[in-house]
């Protein structure tokens, strides 16, 4: 998954992009990058593995002058986790420097790549986003926007994009609108910004203008925002998992407050799977906080904080093998024994993926003295992988793909287990249920899925090192 930002018409655009990326860090923690374009149209790039705060220093930002910039935080869902695949991608083509930041996943990238390689294209990375750059460069159209459109008409799948061609910034959302993208205004009105989520607008002090609709194609240049002809219309398929887990609760996406939807998910869950007689309900912080609140309100059960999350666990945590059992869970969470001792508790989580974290948590809760554990999941069983940009594991690693709810209950070791139904989830999300992609829960994939896609998701890198 990824977070993207585009800035135009602001001095030191890279600094603003850097700030915005901080609030999009949850969308990708593997790598971060910024490309800035100066007044002469010279583009400079810095990308690195790690968190935004690790990748950028004062000195690095000073080396990225210009009033146009795009930024990216990445968690690989296509291509391996190596620097070569970090974004934004920067290439030089006939219109000048072209930089691209992509959130989503292209479902026909492998096929397009094979065709392009057969025609002589040389790829630098194993990421699907580079396919777009090649398609743009190979277009025979004369205007840059027609070249971009040529590329969009050939790719399938999920893409919210920020692209710079020379000093012009483009923002695009694919026709189904899988991933969110927002337009904001900065300062006196000359400055514009495009971000994955509104929490980034808040941080940089931008005024929200509007959310891009599926298929929208914007050009931002010299303080003007032009709406270009939209991409060919397709049925909308907003990713419901953005609302369940991925986006921040302080964001508004797909026309909804994420926090409100999550509370509604908790209320629906309490209606479908109440836990009569329970003493308290608590979340697995932070992702299910709002759901637990909704559950507690609806069920009339007291909300407690029974698990404390350590916020300082880095990605590079070295697993001490046998030394500490369940150390991965233990380093992240610790129970509050006084809350749990002798009590019948309801644990509300937002989703169950492999079932490993949850199993470790349940053991921890029991060891802390809970009498009964009732587990509630505020989304349906995840039975299939996502091909549109969420990092879900392959089907055989998903616990619900081959186990019944009763088998999962036994695996977790809980008294009762209740998952929210698909209908309940869609009710909580509100609006027309047909506008959502819920393929990971329902198996209803809105695009064709080529046979080779699963294998190509984590293809080996073609190059292992590039300079930044
Ligand atoms: P597990 O018990 O191992 O299935 O882990 C469940 C937890 O993973 C839930 O608390 C979710 O908040 C979290 N989760 C859901 N989707 C993802 C994802 N794509 N990447 C990382 N964590 C996730």
Q: What is the mean pLDDT of the chain?
A: 93
Using DSSP's 3-state secondary structure scheme, residue 395 falls into: helix
pLDDT of residue 463: 34
pLDDT of residue 189: 77
| Both tokens assigned to 17 | 């992009």
| Ligand 1 and 252: CB distance under 6 A | no
pLDDT of residue 187: 83
Question: What fold characterizes domain 256-442?
Answer: Rossmann fold (3.40.50)
pLDDT band at 392 (very low <50, low <70, confident <90, very high): confident
Residues 451-465, mean pLDDT to the nearest whole number: 47
Render 408-431 in DSSP notation, one character per residue.
HHHHHT-SEEEEPPHHHHHHHH-S
pLDDT in tens, 70-83: 999 998 766 777 89
Give yes or no for residue 94 having a pLDDT over 90.
no
pLDDT of residue 454: 58
Higher pLDDT, 84 or 435: 435
Give yes or no for residue 251 having a pLDDT over 90.
yes
**Which among 2, 280, 437, 440 is annotated as catalytic?**
2
pLDDT of residue 327: 76
- Return phi, psi of residue 58, to 5°: -55, -45
pLDDT of residue 178: 98
Task: Please report, rounded to a whole number, the percentage of residues in the chain having pLDDT higher than 90.
Answer: 86
| Ligand 1 and 326: CB distance under 6 A | no
Out of 351, 360, 380, 401, mutate this one to test ligand 1's pocket (max ligand atoms within 8 Å of CB): namely 351
Lowest mean pLDDT among 110-124, 146-160, 171-185: 110-124
pLDDT of residue 452: 64
Supply the pTM of this predicted model. 0.94
Out of 76, 241, 243, 245, mutate this one to test ligand 1's pocket (max ligand atoms within 8 Å of CB): namely 245
pLDDT of residue 181: 98
Higher pLDDT, 326 or 65: 65
pLDDT of residue 70: 98
Lowest mean pLDDT among 3-17, 200-214, 287-301, 314-328: 314-328
Q: Is 426 exposed, middle or buried (0-12, 13-18, 19+ CB in 10 A)?
A: buried
Task: Please report, rounded to a whole number, the percentage of residues in the chain having pLDDT higher than 70.
Answer: 93
| Ligand 1 and 372: CB distance under 6 A | no
Q: Which CATH architecture has domain 2-237?
A: 4-Layer Sandwich (3.60)
Residues 197-206, mean pLDDT to the nearest whole number: 98
Out of 353, 377, 387, 411, mutate this one to test ligand 1's pocket (max ligand atoms within 8 Å of CB): namely 353
Give the residue from 255, 341, 238, 333 showing the smallest Cα distance to 288. Answer: 333
**260: CA distance to ligand 1 center in Å?**
20
**4: CA distance to ligand 1 center in Å?**
22
Render 130-197 in DSSP notation, one character per residue.
HHHHHHHHH---SSHHHHHHHHHHH--B--EEEEEETTEEEEEE-TT--S--EEEEETTTTEEEEESS
Residues 298-309, mean pLDDT to the nearest whole number: 98
Q: Which residue blocks in 37-128 are alpha helix, DSSP H?
A: 52-55, 58-62, 109-118
Q: Where are the domains of the chain?
A: 2-237, 256-442
Lowest mean pLDDT among 87-101, 330-344, 377-391, 443-457: 443-457
Give yes or no for residue 91 having a pLDDT over 80.
yes
239 in catalytic set:
no
pLDDT of residue 460: 41
**51: CA distance to ligand 1 center in Å?**
20
Residues 106-130, mean pLDDT to the nearest whole number: 92
**CB neighbourhood size of 363 (10 A):** 17
């Amino acid at each position: 998954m990824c977070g993207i930002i585009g800035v135009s018409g602001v001095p030191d655009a890279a600094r603003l992009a850097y700030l915005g990326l901080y609030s999009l860090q949850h969308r990708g923690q593997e790598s971060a990058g910024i490309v800035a374009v100066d007044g002469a149209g010279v583009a400079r790039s810095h990308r690195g593995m790690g968190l935004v705060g690790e990748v950028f220093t004062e000195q690095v930002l000073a080396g990225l002058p210009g009033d146009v910039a795009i930024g990216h935080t990445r968690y690989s869902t296509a291509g391996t986790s190596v620097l070569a695949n970090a974004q934004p991608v920067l290439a030089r083509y006939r219109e000048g420097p072209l930089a691209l930041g992509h959130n989503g996943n292209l479902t026909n990238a492998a096929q397009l790549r094979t065709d392009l390689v057969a025609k002589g294209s040389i790829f630098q990375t194993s990421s699907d986003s580079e396919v777009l750059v090649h398609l743009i460069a190979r277009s025979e159209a004369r205007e840059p926007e027609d070249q971009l459109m040529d590329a969009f008409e050939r790719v399938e799948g999920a893409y919210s994009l920020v692209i710079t061609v020379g000093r012009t910034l483009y923002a695009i959302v694919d026709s189904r609108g899988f991933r969110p993208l927002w337009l904001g205004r900065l300062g006196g009105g000359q400055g514009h910004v495009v971000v994955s989520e509104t929490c980034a607008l808040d941080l940089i002090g931008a005024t929200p203008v509007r959310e891009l609709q599926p298929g929208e194609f914007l050009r931002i240049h010299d303080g003007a925002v032009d709406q270009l002809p939209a991409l060919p219309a397709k049925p909308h398929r907003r990713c419901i998992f953005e609302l369940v887990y991925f986006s921040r609760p302080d964001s508004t996406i797909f026309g909804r407050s994420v926090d409100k939807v999550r509370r509604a998910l908790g209320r629906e869950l309490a209606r479908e799977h109440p836990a009569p007689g329970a003493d308290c309900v608590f979340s697995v912080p932070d992702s299910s906080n709002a759901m637990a609140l909704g559950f507690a309100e609806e069920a009339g059960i007291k909300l407690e904080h029974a698990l404390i999350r350590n916020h300082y666990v880095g990605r590079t945590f070295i697993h001490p093998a046998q030394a500490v059992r369940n150390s991965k869970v233990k380093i992240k969470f610790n129970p509050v024994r006084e809350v749990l001792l002798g009590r019948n508790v309801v644990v509300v989580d937002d989703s169950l993926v492999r079932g490993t974290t949850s199993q470790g948590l349940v053991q921890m809760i029991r060891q802390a003295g809970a009498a009964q554990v009732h587990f509630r999941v505020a989304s349906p069983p995840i039975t299939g992988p996502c091909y549109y940009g969420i990092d879900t594991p392959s089907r055989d690693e998903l616990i619900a793909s081959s186990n019944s709810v009763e088998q999962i209950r036994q695996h977790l070791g809980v008294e009762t287990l209740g998952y929210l139904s698909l209908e309940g989830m869609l009710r909580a999300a509100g609006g027309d249920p047909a506008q959502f992609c819920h393929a990971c829960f329902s198996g209803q994939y809105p695009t064709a899925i080529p046979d080779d896609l699963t294998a190509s998701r984590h293809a080996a890198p073609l190059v292992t090192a590039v300079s930044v």
